Amino acid sequence: DVVMTQSPDSLAVSLGERATINCKSSQSVLNISSSKNNLAWYQQEPGQPPKLLIYWASIREFGVPDRFSGSGSGTDFTLTISSLQAEDVALYYCQQYYTTPRTFGQGTKLEIK
Amino acid sequence: EVQLVESGGGLVQPGRSLKLSCAASGFNFGEYAMHWVRQAPGKGLEWVSSISWNSGTIDYADSVKGRFTVFRDNAKNSLFLQLNSLRTVDTALYYCAKAGCSFTACYINYWGQGTPVTVSS
């Protein structure tokens, strides 16, 4: 199985500051034939289902604010929130969909400092 | 508007069975792969199963393989998960989720609200 490891487990950032969440896969999730990284980021607010933020590692889902961005390739990926807003308090998960099982990271809890 | 409405969850004894359903609307159901993902109380997300648009590709997590069966009825815009030989560790909120593609090696772009399954004697 591809193990997805997020860091940190929790993060406290001041409003307006940058938040960075990392995700490392135990093997590459880059599809050579498509040149796409099979990696997504989701946001889960308390009591709600997850919401897609980023797919193919760097494509922002329609309607997601442009302060959210994804980067990385191969085994190392980053979700960046450029200027933290109060409504960004949530759990964030990465997921690889390159192979089965389609594993998630353990989650990163983002709070306001 | 895409809507995914799960049903069928509940309290069940270990070893018994349950069938979850997901009614889809707001998109052409037959064109997209679908997933089941679960979340145990206070825990993270665990992918359970996926099925391609035409049921040609079906995959399961090792933890449920041989006990759970996923199937779909494109004519009725419905996804199902048959849960057999349930164990206490299967206790979770089960989400029905839509893929962004017809094949299963794809991100999830919509999630239902989930249906709770509690396995306890």
Q: Which of residues 1-40 of A touch B (CB under 8 A)?
A: 1, 31, 38, 40
Question: What's the whole-number mean pLDDT along residues A44-65?
Answer: 98
DSSP 8-state class, residue A104 = B
Write b or e for each residue in A19-54: b if 16 or more Cβ atoms lie within 10 A of its Cβ, otherwise e. bebbbbbeebbbeeeeebbbbbbbbbeeeebbbbbb
Nearest by CB: B114 against A49, A93, A103: A49
Give the H/E segment covering residue A108: strand A108-112
Neighbouring CB atoms inside 10 A of B62's CB total: 9
* Residue B102, pLDDT score: 92
Residue A105 and residue B112: Cβ atoms within 8 Å? no
Percent of chain B at pLDDT above 90? 98
Tokens of A20: 């960075």
Encoded amino acid at A14, one letter: S
Question: What's the whole-number mean pLDDT along residues A50-79?
Answer: 98
Chosen from B22, B37, B108 to mutate, greatest number of chain A CBs within 10 A: B108
Residue B108 touches chain A, beta carbons under 8 Å: yes
Percent of chain A at pLDDT above 70? 100
Task: For A73-101, write each residue's pLDDT tens digit.
Answer: 999 999 999 999 999 999 999 999 999 99
Q: CA of B35: which chain A residue's CA is closest?
A: A102
Q: Which of residues 63-92 of A touch B (CB under 8 A)?
A: none
CA distance B79 to chain A (A): 18
Q: Kindly tell me the sign of the dihedral angle through the C-alpha atoms of B19, B47, A63, A98.
A: negative
Contacts of residue A1 in chain B, CB cutoff 8 Å? 62
Q: According to DSSP H, which parts of A19-104 are helical?
A: none
**Class of residue B16 by CB neighbours under 10 A (exposed 0-12, middle 13-18, buried 19+):** exposed
Task: For B69-119, write each residue's pLDDT tens digit.
Answer: 999 999 999 999 999 999 999 999 999 999 999 998 999 999 999 999 999
pLDDT band at A19 (very low <50, low <70, confident <90, very high): very high
Q: Which of residues 88-107 of A touch B (CB under 8 A)?
A: 93, 95, 97-107
pLDDT band at B54 (very low <50, low <70, confident <90, very high): very high
CA distance A41 to chain B (A): 9
Question: What's the whole-number mean pLDDT along residues A7-16?
Answer: 98
Residue B2 touches chain A, beta carbons under 8 Å: no
Cα separation, B115 vs A94, in Å, equals 23
Would you give the end-to-end CA distance of chain B in angstroms? 40
Nearest by CB: A52 against B46, B109, B114: B109
Tokens of B71: 């199937």
pLDDT band at A27 (very low <50, low <70, confident <90, very high): very high
